[in-house]
Structure 1
Amino acid sequence: MQKALLVKEIGKPLSLGTRPIPKPKARKVVVKVTAAQVLPHDTASRDKGLFISNHLPSVPAHNIAGIVQELGPDVTEYSIGQHIYGQGDPLAVTPDQCGLQEFAILPTNMSAPVPDNFSDDQMVTLPINATTIFCALFHQNWLGFPAPFSPESKTFDYGKQKLVIIGGNSNCGRFAIQFAKMVGIGTIIAIASLSGEQELKTMGASHVIDRYSQTIVKEVQEICGGEEEVTHVVDTVTYDFDLAMEMVATHCPSSIAVLHVADVTAQLEKRGKKWGRGSGVSGWKNNFDEETGKLYWESLGKWVQEGKILIPKFRVIEGLDEVLVNEALDSYIGHKPVVQAVIHPR
C-alpha cells in the first residue's frame, strides 16, 4: 500500500489515506512520484466532481514526474531508475495515473525523459498546459496551423499568419505566445494586463493590448488589417467567449479555441458568423496520431533546452500535506493569478 491524498466525497477537502501501488500494463510504467502539479481542473474535480464523480475515491494531479520503478510489457523507451515526466489520464476509472500519491502510472505515449540540466520539478509544470495549447494551435480540430515538425511546416508561410491570444499573461497564454513565436507566426496579439507587456513581448508577442481597454475589438481588427482579417483566436481565460466571437471575421472562415467545454460554432452561427467554428480543447488526451504525438513529446524537452519554451513560475509543497494542498486547490477559486504548486509526495 501507499499513501495518497484522496477525494472521498465531492465538495469535501482532500484527505490522506492509502491505496494499492499500481502495476503497469502494456505501454505503461510505474514511477516513484518525485513531483506532481495541481491545476484548476483538480479544484473542479474536488469541488464539483469533474471527471471523477462516478469513480470515487479518486486522486488529483495529472502532471507527474518521477523515477521509473517498473516497466510494463513491451516497454523499450525507458529503463529502471530513469527520471521521466508526463501526464496521466483524468478519465481513467482507477486513479493509478494521478500524482498525489507515492507511486503512479505514466503511459509511454504521454511522457518523455527529463532533459539534462532540468529538474523533475521544472518539467512537471509543462504537460497538460503545454499539450493543451499545442493542440489548440496545431491540431486540425482547432486552429490547425501545421505542427512545427510536420512536412507541411516546411512550405507553410507562418509569417503571414495572425494569432490573437486572450489571456496572454496566463500560463496557457504564455505557452501560446512561445509556440507561436517558435514557428514564426508574424502577428501575435496578446490581450493582457499591461503590467506584463515587456515580458510578453520578450517571449514573442508582437502586440499587447490592455485587457481593460474598452476598444479591444477595434484595436485587434486594426492591427490585423480589417474586420475580416481576424481568423485565429485562442481564449485561455474566459468562460463566455464573447470577446473572441465578437472580434472574428463574419464572412471568412475563422477558428476559435477555448479551454472549457463549449459549442462555440453554434454560438457563432447565431451571431451570423456561419463561416466560424470553435470548441473546447481536450488537452488531457493524446489528440494526435501516434507518430505526431511521439514527435511532440520528443521535441518538448528539446524546446525547453533550446530556450524556446520557458519553465513557468512555481512553488513547492513538501509532502502530502492535506492543509497546504487543499489551500493550493482553493487558490484557483475565483480565477485569480496563482503561482502554481508542485507537490513532493515523499
Structure 2
Amino acid sequence: MAPQTQKSLLVTEIGKPLTLVTDHPVPQPGPGQVLIRVTVAGPNPHDQKARDTGLFIADSLPAILTNDVVGEVVALGSGVTKYSPGDHIVGQPGFAPGSVQNGFQEFAVLDVDFTAKIPTGFTDDDGATLPTNIIAPLVSLFDSATLDIPAPWTPEAKSFDYKNTTILVLGGGSNCGRFGVQLASLAGIGQIVVVGGNESELKSYGATHIIDRHGSPDEITARIRDIVGDDLLYAYDAVNPPETQIIGINALSTTKKGRFARLLPSPLGEAESQIKPKKEGYVLGNTFGSSHAKPELCKAFWERVPEYLVEKKIVPTKYIVVKGLDVDKVNEVLDAYRDGKRVVKTHFHVVTENAIEYSITLIFFPKYTYFNQYQEE
C-alpha cells in the first residue's frame, strides 16, 4: 500500500534549480489509470526548457518533471484489467498543467492507454528509453498533420506502397532520429535516407543510405538529391533549427507536393528566403510528441510496443544510470542540456535497490563512449 506522502523533485520557481521535498502528496489513480512506484525517470531537453523557461508548467507550480517513466504497478483505478499489481510498465505522462504523472517522484499515476508492459528479457531502463524519443517520430511519420504516412496497423496501410516510398531523416545521431529510422523500417518503407549518425547502427535499424552531416546546407542538400533525385515527398527533421531545416525542405520535390515534419517549430524567418521554388508547394508540419494529444494513433502504438520489442522491430537506445532521486545530479543534467553539452540519455533509479551508480561526470566526457556507442559524428 502506498504512503500518503513521498519524496519528489519540484520546480518551485522558473529559472531556479529543482528542489527536493519529502512531504509531497502521493496521487491516487482514477478510472483507466494505475498508480506505480517509480523505478526509472529520465529527463530530456524539454525538461530543461520547463525548468528554465516555464515550458508547459509556468502556470502550474510547483511542478514535477520528466515524461520518460517506468514503474511497478501498486494500485489499479476503476475499470483497469490490463495490469496486475507487481507488473512493470512504461508510459508517457501527459503534458497538462498540474500533471501528477511525471517521473521525479516516488509514486506516479499513468493512463493505461499510453502504457505498455515491460516484456520478459527487457529491463526497466530499456523501457525508459522509449516514451519521449519514440512518440515524437511516431507522430511525425504517421499523423495526418505531419507526414501523413499510414501507420502500418491501419486499414489505409493495405493500399499504401511502402516499398516504393522514400523518407529522409535528418538528425540520425539523435535518439529521436534513431527511433525515426526504426519506425520507418517497421512500416516497411523501402528507401530510408539519413543525415548524420553512426552508419553501422543506423543500417542495423533499416536505413539504406547514410549521408555525412558536415558541410553547408546546399552541399548536404546536393548529397541528398544525388540519391533521391527530384522525387522526395517525405522529410522528417529531428534536430535542426530553422537555418538548417531548409536542407530537408529543399530536398523535397520541386514538382510534386511534399511534406516536411519538424520537432523544433520556430519560425523559419530569414531562412525562408533560401527555400527553392516548388511548383506544388509543400506541407510544413510541427510535431508535438504527446500520446495524449494524439490518442488514437498513440494508443494503438502502445498496445503493440511489447511485441515490437520482442520481435526487435524496436531496439532500445543507450543510456547511463544514476542511483537515487538525486536533486544535484538532476540539475547537473539539465544544466548540461542548457549549456549545449553532449548528454548521454540519463536514467535516475528512483527506487535504488540493485541500482548501479555511475558518476554523473560520465555524461560529459567523450572518452566514456562505451555507454553510448553511437553518438553523433
- With normalisation by structure 2, the TM-score equals 0.85
Match of 2:95 among 90, 93, 101: 90
Structure 2 counterparts to residues 26-41 of structure 1, below 5 A:
26-41=31-46
Question: How big is the shift at 1:94?
Answer: 2.0
Q: Is the 8 A contact 1:317 1:325 kept in 2?
A: no
Q: Is the 8 A contact 1:146 1:153 kept in 2?
A: yes
The Cα offsets for residues 195-253 of structure 1, whole Å up to 9 and x where unpaired, read as x2222222211111110034111121121122xx1221111001212222222223321
Counterpart secondary structure, 1:250: coil
Counterpart secondary structure, 2:255: coil
The Cα offsets for residues 30-70 of structure 1, whole Å up to 9 and x where unpaired, read as 11101111111101101111100111111111111111111
Residue identity over aligned pairs, in percent, reads: 37
For the structure 1 residues 338 and 74, does the alpha-carbon distance in structure 2 shift closer, same or farther, using more than 3 Å as the test? same
Counterpart secondary structure, 1:237: coil
Distance 1:335 1:192 in 2: 18
Q: Is the 8 A contact 2:94 2:292 kept in 1?
A: no
Q: Is the 8 A contact 1:129 1:172 kept in 2?
A: yes
Distance 1:269 1:29 in 2: 50
The yes-or-no answer on 1:293 pairing with 2:295 is: no
Distance 1:147 1:286 in 2: 17
Structure 2 counterparts to residues 216-227 of structure 1, below 5 A:
216-226=220-230
Counterpart secondary structure, 2:145: coil
Match of 2:288 among 282, 286, 296: 282
Match of 1:234 among 225, 233, 236: 236
Tell me the amino acid that sits aligned with residue 125 of structure 2. Answer: D
Q: Is the 8 A contact 1:253 1:275 kept in 2?
A: yes
Counterpart secondary structure, 2:100: helix
Question: How big is the shift at 1:180?
Answer: 1.2
What residue is the counterpart of 1:144 in the other structure?
148
Distance 1:285 1:149 in 2: 17
Tell me the amino acid that sits aligned with residue 165 of structure 1. Answer: V
Tell me the amino acid that sits aligned with residue 306 of structure 2. Answer: G
Question: How big is the shift at 1:336?
Answer: 4.2
Distance 1:316 1:210 in 2: 31
Distance 2:50 2:124 in 1: 25
Counterpart secondary structure, 1:218: helix
Tell me the amino acid that sits aligned with residue 149 of structure 2. Answer: F
Structure 2 counterparts to residues 1-346 of structure 1, below 5 A:
1-17=5-21, 18-91=23-96, 93-193=97-197, 196-214=198-216, 215-226=219-230, 229-240=231-242, 241-262=245-266, 271=275, 272-273=277-278, 275-288=281-294, 290=296, 292-346=297-351
Counterpart secondary structure, 1:174: helix
Q: Is the 8 A contact 1:164 1:233 kept in 2?
A: yes
Question: How big is the shift at 1:73?
Answer: 1.8
- Which is further off, 33-42 or 72-81? 72-81
Q: Is the 8 A contact 2:171 2:177 kept in 1?
A: yes
For the structure 1 residues 67 and 132, does the alpha-carbon distance in structure 2 shift closer, same or farther, using more than 3 Å as the test? same
Q: How many residues of Structure 1 are paired with residues of Structure 2 in the alignment?
A: 340
Q: Is the 8 A contact 2:246 2:272 kept in 1?
A: no
Question: How big is the shift at 1:153?
Answer: 1.9
For the structure 1 residues 183 and 236, does the alpha-carbon distance in structure 2 shift closer, same or farther, using more than 3 Å as the test? same
Question: How big is the shift at 1:90?
Answer: 2.1
Q: Is the 8 A contact 1:7 1:46 kept in 2?
A: yes
Distance 2:132 2:147 in 1: 18
Structure 1, gaps ≥5 residues long: none
For the structure 1 residues 199 and 289, does the alpha-carbon distance in structure 2 shift closer, same or farther, using more than 3 Å as the test? closer
Q: Is the 8 A contact 1:260 1:280 kept in 2?
A: yes
For the structure 1 residues 230 and 337, does the alpha-carbon distance in structure 2 shift closer, same or farther, using more than 3 Å as the test? farther
Distance 2:333 2:61 in 1: 21
Question: How big is the shift at 1:154?
Answer: 2.7
Distance 1:42 1:57 in 2: 14
- With normalisation by structure 1, the TM-score equals 0.92
Tell me the amino acid that sits aligned with residue 296 of structure 1. Answer: F
Q: Over the residues paired in the alignment, what is the CA RMSD in angstroms?
A: 2.1
